């Protein structure tokens, strides 16, 4: 219990709301309990310990999730669904017996499965459930996610949010349509694919996934924070295509930097007619715009392939009306040359066992610049210019042949201006509502938070 206390003390100290999985010991034991009375007693004692130690006001903000992916090999009960529902019923009742305010849910399935069946079960049997959870990966097949043959493949940049919408729709059609949906695992790949999960590809993939999934879920949990976790065993070499946002040796990967930039977005989303932008506004009026140029990865599978030659850029023009002369934007980016540690690792010859000095150098090269580049609206930034009486910001996102470049424009000064009739060739900063010319705000419920953030809505 001392080790468990240490873990949860750290969570409380750093103001993290944990999600607790009940739970299997990976590989050695994944069978149903032999004696449910003993299982119930264990769950009750553990949950009561947490409440006694941290208080109900704290623990009531946590999530208790029952098991992990019971529809595939992580669960040994047969048949899968019937035996899992028995486990869930016992666990949920034991948790609620400690305090009705505690939140419990499931079925924590792989491949967006069982959502409708789960809600129907808890309603029929009068079992507590505070949320519906599932998992999906962008390389899951349509046969597994949608239980259909002959359906056209869903591309990697659209699979996650297509599956999220499937679950959201199943819950909306159920007897409890307002149950929150949580995807407690998602990523661009469930396999070790260095050109996917290690690569700068992840920056644009994450941005487009956040854009598509916004508003469909209560939260999404990127699996995983680190490449070092128990299922993978001892990490033998860095940048092997691990699932984490941080590589072994505490080296931030491009995915980590993408989350850091997405965290800079505002809390109100403005309408946009582009599928490569997120246009937001902060409480102080600052506009923060994310732009990206998505392209498929250079390669897939376990073998790393060097970057392909650059492909054509994607041009964006942002028209900012009434911007004062000399106003500036702050520009941050993740691309082949910014926040991309893989480029530095390649230049070292991809050593299988980096020395301490090499690891320290990689950590330094992985970091984003501490201060964003600042450019005057009417000069620089590849031709920021004035057009038609409005100030215009023009920039390029240049991918490789199968590569991405993610550009984040943080318009610190300009954003305080009234946003009227704002349009651009690549994105619409705001669309007029009922002819008023004012922006049409969309509540931004699920945009990325930084890796450690006290928030119920967390994209990591």
Phi, psi of 370 (to 5 degrees): -65, -30
For residues 155 and 93, give the distance between their C-alpha atoms in angstroms, rounded to a whole number. Answer: 40
Instruction: Give the gyration radius of the chain's Cα atoms.
Output: 23
Structure tokens at 327: 């106003």
Is the Cα torsion angle 333, 335, 341, 343 positive or negative in sign?
negative
For residues 150 and 333, give the distance between their C-alpha atoms in angstroms, rounded to a whole number. Answer: 40
Burial class (CB in 10 A: 0-12, 13-18, 19+), 263: middle
Which H, E and C letters describe the chain, residue by residue?
Answer: CHHHHHHHHHHHHCCCCCEEEECCECCCECCCCCCHHHHHHHHHHHHHHHHHHHCHHHHCCCEEEECCCCCCCCCCCCCHHHHHHHHHHHHHHHHHHHCCCCEEEEEEECCCCCHHHHHHHHHHHCCCCCEEEEEEECCCCHHHHHCCCCCCCCCCCCHHHHHHHHHHHHHHCCCCCCCCEEEEEEECCCCCCHHHHCCCHHHHHHHHHHHHHCCCCCEEEECCCECCCHHHCCCCCCCCCCCCCEECCCEECHHHHHHHHHCCCCCEEECCCCCCEEEEECCCCCEEEEEEECCCCCCCCCCCCCCCCECCCEEEEEEECCCCCCCEEEEEEEECCECCHHHHHHHCCCCCCCCHHHHHHHHHHHCCCCCCEEEECCCCCCCCEEECCEEEEEEEECCECCCCEEEEEEECCHHHCCCCCCCCCCCCCCCCCCCCCCCCEEECCCCCCCCCCCCCCCCC
Question: With contact defined as beta carbons under 8 Å apart, do 379 and 259 qualify?
Answer: no
Residue from 118, 138, 136, 114 nearest 128 by CA: 118
Indicate which residues carry an active-site annotation: 69, 185
């Amino acid at each position: 219990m001392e080790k468990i206390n240490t873990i949860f003390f750290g969570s409380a100290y750093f103001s993290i709301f944990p999600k607790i999985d009940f739970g299997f010991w990976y590989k050695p034991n994944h069978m149903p309990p032999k004696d449910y009375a003993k299982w119930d007693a264990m769950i009750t004692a553990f949950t009561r310990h947490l409440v006694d130690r941290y208080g109900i006001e704290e623990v009531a903000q946590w999530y208790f999730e029952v098991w992990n992916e019971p529809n595939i090999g992580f669960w040994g009960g047969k048949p899968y669904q019937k035996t899992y529902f028995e486990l869930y019923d016992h666990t949920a009742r034991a948790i609620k017996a400690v305090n009705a305010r505690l939140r419990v849910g499931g079925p924590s399935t792989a491949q967006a499965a069982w959502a409708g069946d789960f809600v129907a079960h808890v309603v029929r049997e009068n079992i507590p459930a505070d949320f519906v959870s599932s998992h999906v990966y962008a390389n899951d097949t349509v046969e597994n996610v949608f239980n259909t043959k002959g359906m056209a493949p869903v591309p990697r940049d659209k699979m996650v949010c297509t599956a999220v919408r499937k679950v959201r729709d199943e819950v909306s059609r159920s007897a409890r349509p307002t149950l929150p949906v949580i995807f407690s695992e998602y990523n661009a790949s469930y396999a070790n694919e260095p050109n996917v999960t290690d690569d700068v590809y992840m920056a644009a993939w994450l941005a487009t996934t956040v854009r598509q999934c916004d508003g469909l879920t209560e939260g999404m949990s990127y699996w995983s924070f680190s490449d070092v976790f128990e299922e993978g065993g001892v990490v033998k070499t860095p940048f092997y295509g691990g699932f984490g946002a941080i590589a072994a040796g505490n080296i931030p990967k491009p995915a980590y930097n993408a989350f850091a930039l997405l965290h800079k977005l505002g809390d109100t989303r403005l309408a946009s007619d582009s599928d490569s932008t997120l246009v937001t506004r902060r409480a102080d009026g600052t506009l923060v715009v994310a732009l990206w140029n998505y392209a498929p990865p250079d390669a897939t599978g376990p073998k790393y392939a060097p970057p392909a030659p650059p492909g054509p850029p994607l041009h964006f023009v942002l028209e900012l009306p009434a911007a004062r002369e000399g106003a500036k934007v702050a520009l941050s980016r993740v691309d082949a040359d910014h926040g991309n540690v893989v480029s530095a690792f390649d230049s070292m010859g991809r050593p299988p066992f980096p020395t301490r000095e090499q690891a320290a150098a990689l950590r330094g090269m992985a970091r984003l610049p501490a201060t964003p580049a600042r450019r005057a609206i009417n000069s620089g930034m590849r031709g920021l210019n004035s057009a038609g009486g409005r100030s215009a910001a023009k920039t390029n996102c240049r991918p490789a042949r199968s590569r991405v470049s993610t550009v984040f424009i943080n318009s610190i000064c300009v954003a305080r201006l009234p946003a009227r009739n704002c349009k651009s060739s690549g994105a619409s900063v705001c669309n007029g509502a009922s002819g008023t010319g004012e922006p049409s705000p969309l509540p931004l419920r699920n945009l990325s938070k930084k890796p450690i953030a006290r928030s119920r809505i967390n994209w990591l």
